Structure 1
């Protein structure tokens, strides 16, 4: 089903696509030096998703869960690489047969943030299925499918919130776009930009 002739963007699942623009609040809380948690809320304060896993460690593994705690997606990063490569697996699997998408920096030495996303069915890997652009001065960015803007993320950074280990993002997801996919991209970019 499409809204106004716009094809849906479903990567994690169709049940994460709303037929209207969706605004989300993503809260990041650093629990310990090696653990950070994300919680995703709608504007009414309903918990939609949660993400847990290590930060500032060599494992680079995050698990995206539904409000009940069931795993939806496991995101794993490649350690010690200039290209910032990530793989997203369905559920808690880390098997290569369950990869939904891969994320790769377009060039290891960049002035502007440019990240490419390849779906598993994109066998040639010449042109990305999605492209993320932004600047390194903030964690704000935009997600495109070709030239079509599908999501915008704005980081509400303050020095006080950073020192307290609590950060917030505002996420605007366009109609029929998989918000779980957009949140996964946010977590990946946050992990890449964390010193």
Structure 2
């Protein structure tokens, strides 16, 4: 079996913020939990160190998904908005889902797709409240199911990309292992939260992460 990660999963990644770096961060995303009988994601950096993890127990709610760092500290919680007829989600900092969400995300719906020239499949917007400042709006274009999509900011600059992992020694990877390339200035944790959203919206089973 081709090795996906070279180092032990207990290796630590100190800081998911990449705004001070000048080079893109290339992460390997594995659509699988490290824990037995759990579903989720495991994410490694270019040196094979564990960066992020998502562990969903069979008895836990599929509408609340927590992104953690390598030490198990909650970074973001992705939660489906209640009583929503469409795919409408919120992103919270940490596990503080009782606080105001940081971002709101919607799946792009087109009633007449043959009349639409838009490549947008989802949009992530800041949740603005009294006294809050405007934040960035991110647009996702492409095909997540094909592992070929990009995240663009309001100026249509590419800030992240999801793409297939290159074949290694003749061995090819399916859709369960792919690359997440994050540009300087974007929080890699937030980029991974967007990946979780896209899995919920466009995965093989909507609203379900498989192990």
Q: TM-score range by the shorter chain?
A: 0.7 to 0.9
Aligned to 2:123: 116
Q: Which has the higher strand share?
A: 1
User: How far apart, in 1, do the equivalents of 2:157 and 2:177 lie?
Assistant: 25
Aligned to 1:169: 178
Aligned-residue Cα RMSD (Å) equals: 3.3
Q: TM-score, normalised by structure 2?
A: 0.68
2:40 maps to 1:37: yes
- How far 1:80 moved relative to its partner? 7.6
Q: Where do 4+ consecutive residues of structure 1 move more than 4 Å?
A: 79-82, 108-113
Structure 1 unaligned spans of 5+? 1-12
SS at match of 1:187: helix
- 1:76 pairs with 74, 79, 88, which one? 79
Query: CA 1:191–1:64 in 2, change beyond 3 Å: closer, same or farther?
Result: same
Aligned to 1:88: 91
Query: CA 1:95–1:187 in 2, change beyond 3 Å: closer, same or farther?
Result: same
User: How far apart, in 1, do the equivalents of 2:189 and 2:202 lie?
Assistant: 20
Contact residue 72 and residue 91 of structure 1 kept, 8 A: yes
- How far 1:175 moved relative to its partner? 1.7
Q: Residues 72-118 of structure 1, C-alpha deviation per residue, up to 9 Å, x if partnerless?
A: 11111246855211101111111142x11111013265855521111
- 1:101 pairs with 85, 96, 103, which one? 103
Q: What is the aligned length?
A: 172
Q: TM-score, normalised by structure 1?
A: 0.73
Aligned to 2:5: none
Structure 2 unaligned spans of 5+? 1-14, 114-118, 131-135, 166-171, 206-211
Q: Which has the higher helix share?
A: 1
User: How far apart, in 2, do the equivalents of 1:54 and 1:191 lie?
Assistant: 16
Query: CA 1:109–1:179 in 2, change beyond 3 Å: closer, same or farther?
Result: farther
